[in-house]
Amino acid sequence: MSVVEGAVFAGYQVERRLGAGGMGTVFLVQHPRLPRKDALKVLSDIHAEDPEFRARFLREAEIAARLQHPNLVAVRDRGEQDGRLWIAMQYVDGVDVAQLIKRGGLGIERAVRIFADAARGLDEIHQAGLLHRDVKPANILVAEQPDGSDRVLVTDFGIARAADDSTTLAAGGTTATLAYAPPEQISGDPMDHRGDVYALGCTLYHMLTGSVPFPRDSPGAVMYAHLNEPPPRPSHGNSSVPLAFDAVIAKAMAKRPDERFSSCGALAAAAQAALVGQALTDSLPETKRRDRLLMAGVLVVVVVASVLSTVLWVGGDPPATTSPPSPTVGPPNVNAAEWGAYAYIAQTFPELLPPSPIATGYKDVGGCIPLDAKGNTVSFDDVPAVVGELFCIGDGDPARTMAVKCNINRSPIFPDRFFARVEGDERWVRSSGTGHVNWGSDIESDGKIRGQLEVYFDDPSRNFCTVHVHGAASGTELHDRWWPDAPL
Side-chain-side CA neighbours of 368 within 13 Å: the count stands at 30
Question: What angle (nearest 5°) sits at the alpha carbon of residue 472, between those of residues 467 and 475?
Answer: 60
Residue type present at position 242? P
Fill in the DSSP letter of residue 306: G
Kindly report the three-state secondary structure assignment for every residue of 258-314. Answer: HHCCCCHHHHHHHHHHHHHHHHHHHCCCCCHHHHHHCCHHHCCCCCCHHHHHHCCCC
| Residues 15, 126: Cα–Cα separation, whole Å | 34
**E strand segments, 246-372:** 366-371
| Residues 213, 205: Cα–Cα separation, whole Å | 6
Sorted by sequence, the CB contacts under 8 Å of residue 156 that are 6+ apart come out as 21, 134, 139
Tell me, rounded to whole angstroms, the distance of Cα 274 from its chain centroid.
Answer: 9
Residue type present at position 200? L
Task: Establish whether the linkage from the previous residue to 398 is cis, with ω within 30° of 0.
Answer: yes
Asked whether the beta carbons of 4 and 156 are under 8 A apart, the reply is no
First to last CA, the chain: 69
| Residues 101, 467: Cα–Cα separation, whole Å | 39
Catalytic residue among 134, 156, 196, 364: 134
Give catalytic status of residue 372 as yes or no: no
CB atoms within 10 A of CB 1: 12
Q: Which of 214, 192, 212 is nearest to 203 (CA)?
A: 212
Sorted by sequence, the CB contacts under 8 Å of residue 291 that are 6+ apart come out as 285, 418
Sorted by sequence, the CB contacts under 8 Å of residue 138 that are 6+ apart come out as 96, 97, 98, 177
Asked whether the beta carbons of 44 and 23 are under 8 A apart, the reply is yes
DSSP H helices, 190-243, are 193-209, 219-228, 234-237
Asked whether the beta carbons of 273 and 211 are under 8 A apart, the reply is no
Catalytic residues: 134
